[in-house]
Amino acid sequence: MQGHYAGAATRLVAFVVDQSVATGLFAAGVALSTQAIALVTSDAVKWNPNNIVTAVLLGAWLFVYYAYPWSMSGKTPGMALLGIRVVRADGSAASPRNAALRTLALPLSFLTLGIGFLPIIFGRHRRALHDRIAGTAVVYSWDARGARWRFLARQQESETPPSLLAGGVADPVDG
């Protein structure tokens, strides 16, 4: 499946994982900063989720959470967990510009009442509205064959007799 366009279910699960991680990290950051401010000033600080400052900070955090990993490796933690990656439409690595555009355009897919996501289900290349705007696509990036070879190499190393590890000569027939 490596290099094939990622499906809707895989992308949805990766997004849910990423939103959970991003929100959890933001909440932890808010809790830590609240405690730090309370220790320094001995005043209780209350974060109001409806406050514009909180909304701006959350928006900035989500931008960094998505744009930075997409520009560096093409995948967020949720995408890495599910074996998918953001690439340019031609298959090359996504640039920081592609990542920033994709992150800024992502809310548009939601603001169209979800219509921006329909091409993931019905489109040949499974590119959502934000993918089209940014010139990106999401593909599977599991390297199953490589993973299997690495597993077999580790298994073979653990089964190698101590005499071979010490520089002994192996019988070519036996191994």
List pLDDT tens digits, range 85-106: 999 999 899 999 999 999 999 9
- Report pLDDT for 142: 81
Percent of the chain with pLDDT over 70: 81
**What integer is the mean pLDDT of 108-113?**
94
Q: 8-41 and 52-72 are packed helices; what angle lies between their axes, rounded to 10 degrees?
A: 130
Task: Give 119's contacts (C-beta < 8 A, 6+ positions apart).
Answer: 125, 126, 127, 128, 129, 132
Q: Is pLDDT at 27 greater than 60 in this prediction?
A: yes
**Angstrom distance (rounded) from CA 92 to CA 108:** 24
Residue ranges covered by each domain of the chain: 8-160
- Report pLDDT for 170: 47
Q: Is pLDDT at 175 greater than 80 in this prediction?
A: no
Q: Is pLDDT at 172 greater than 70 in this prediction?
A: no
**Longest CA span, the chain:** 77
Q: Is pLDDT at 10 greater than 50 in this prediction?
A: yes
